[in-house]
Structure 1
Amino acid sequence: MAEVKICGLKQPKEMQLCAKLKVQWVGYVFYPPSPRFISADHAQILHKSAPSSHEGGPKRVGLFVKPTFEDVEKILRKVNLDILQLYTSTEQAELFRKQFNIPVWQAKGIASLADLPTQKTLIDGYVIEAPSSSKDSQPGGLGRTFDWTLTEKWHSPAPWLLAGGLTPENVFRAIKISKAQAVDVSSGVESSKGIKSLEKIEKFVLNALNGVA
């Protein structure tokens, strides 16, 4: 049994389903090149379509790629985010943690054991996924897996989520091999790029939570 984050939501019906399924986190993508990008106004509509985390709904995670303080501040003026998920350096992630006093997750692309964090920092959590390459248009949401055995015996300095290439069909196996306590999916529950499938979301959550192969 693992906790679940569904990332890249764009429609209120997706938010409502995630709340109904008791998903722990939902992700809003604030990175314009992504097919899952939404504006602050759009995120505000999504936020209002389901109970807030204080009301028992999913926690809202804002995804940013190498943002400035101003980038994040503009979003926070309109959207009440519970967590910042950052594609940036450890040093920068710590600065954002201090600046906004909001939990920060750092996204980490993993190709070998040496890439896994081992030192305690101000970072509250990690999203562990396959590394991006110079040919990729975005750092995450690539639908690409990595060697799940790398995390099998890893002692993480903070809670972490397994991401990258997860689908309803492989999530149970991924949890079993990686020993992940939480999983993060985006492209793996889409009917086409950037468009979520309600059926796939439900199947993914049920398989992750109930250990269905």
Structure 2
Amino acid sequence: MAAEIKICGVTTPDALDATMSAGAHYVGFVFYPPSPRHLSAPLASDLARRSGDRIRRIGLFVGAGDALLSEAVPAGQLDGIQLHGSEPPARVAEVRARFGLPVWKALPVASSSDIAAAKAYDGAADLVLFDARTPKGALPGGMGLAFDWGLLANWRGRTPWGLAGGLTPANVAEAVRRTDAPLVDTSSGVESAPGVKDVDRIAAFCKAARQ
């Protein structure tokens, strides 16, 4: 079965239209001010109205409190919440219970112990997203870094999972072939500059991910 596709960090109508036209399953809205892909609630609302029921919308948050979540979830008409900070399993379960939406937990990976740590989220998260660990002080994602996909051979958790980190139109087909990832997620891999989505790269990524 082909991997599902998420294009994260979409901020413009053109990028949203390209994401939908290319057949992606999910679009990611980033609610994290330090990111070049950050969306305000009003802009998220505009993009949500534009997309309607044509694609599922996932909001990305980093260490967010309930106040931000309570503003962003209805503004973006979110279908799911992605927690990309250091949220423990208890916080993930709390967010899922409070907002009644599926919650994805992004986990930074640099070693096999990082893969094993994902088991702690069984029963708390609806999906774990394995992403590359970024340098200390850098943004937690969207840096174009990849990790050793071979580490995923040790994954034995019960929670559905996805693959992120350094995925591009040039390597996503190999990534799916090597890992059998049921979902792939890209952000910087389809950009011409940080936060600037390239519509041709979005199309190429989606095409390659399905091959």
Q: Tell whether the structures are fold-level matches, with TM greater than 0.5.
A: yes
Aligned residues: 205
- Determine the structure 2 residue equivalent to 1:127: 129
Within a 5 Å distance, the mapping from 1:149-160 to structure 2 comes to: 149-160=150-161
Judging by fraction of residues, say which structure has more helix: 2
Answer yes or no: is the 8 Å Cα contact 1:35–1:193 preserved in 2.
yes
Gaps in structure 2 of 5+ consecutive residues: none
Q: Is the 8 A contact 1:152 1:179 kept in 2?
A: no
Please tell me whether the aligned partners of residues 47 and 76 of structure 2 are also in contact (alpha carbons under 8 angstroms).
no
Out of 78, 81, 85, the position equivalent to 2:78 is 81
Cα RMSD, aligned residues only = 1.3
Equivalent-residue separation in structure 2 for 1:112 and 1:78 (angstroms): 37
CA distance in 1, matches of 2:55, 2:129: 17
Following superposition, the deviation at residue 153 of structure 1 comes to: 4.4
Q: 1:64 aligns with which of 53, 61, 76?
A: 61
Query: Which shows bigger deviation, 83-92 or 189-198?
Result: 83-92
**Matched-pair contact (CA < 8 Å) for 2:102–2:125:** yes
In 2, are the aligned partners of 1:150 and 1:178 still within 8 Å (CA)? no
Q: Secondary structure at the match of 2:61?
A: strand
Distance in 1 separating the partners of 2:157 and 2:176: 16
- Which residue in 2 is equivalent to 1:97? 96
Contact 1:107 1:129 survives alignment (8 Å) = yes
C-alpha contact 2:4 2:25 (8 A) present in aligned 1: yes
The one-letter code of the counterpart of 1:89 is P
Distance 1:75 1:34 in 2: 16
Question: 1:134: how far off?
Answer: 1.5
Amino acid in the other structure paired with 2:15:
E
The one-letter amino acid of 1:192's match is A
The 5-angstrom pairing of residues 1-213 of structure 1 reads 1-52=2-53, 57-87=54-84, 88-116=87-115, 117-119=118-120, 120-136=122-138, 138-210=139-211
Regions of 4+ moved over 6 Å? none
Q: How much has 1:118 moved relative to structure 2?
A: 2.4
| CA offsets 1:26-67 (integer angstroms, 9 cap, x no match) | 000000000000101001111122232xxxx11100000001
TM-score of the aligned structures, taking structure 1 as reference length: 0.92
- C-alpha displacement of 1:164: 0.5
Structure 2 CA distance for aligned equivalents of residues 112 and 178 of structure 1: 16
- SS for the counterpart of 2:27 is strand
Matched-pair contact (CA < 8 Å) for 2:81–2:102:
yes
Extract unaligned runs of 5+ from structure 1: none
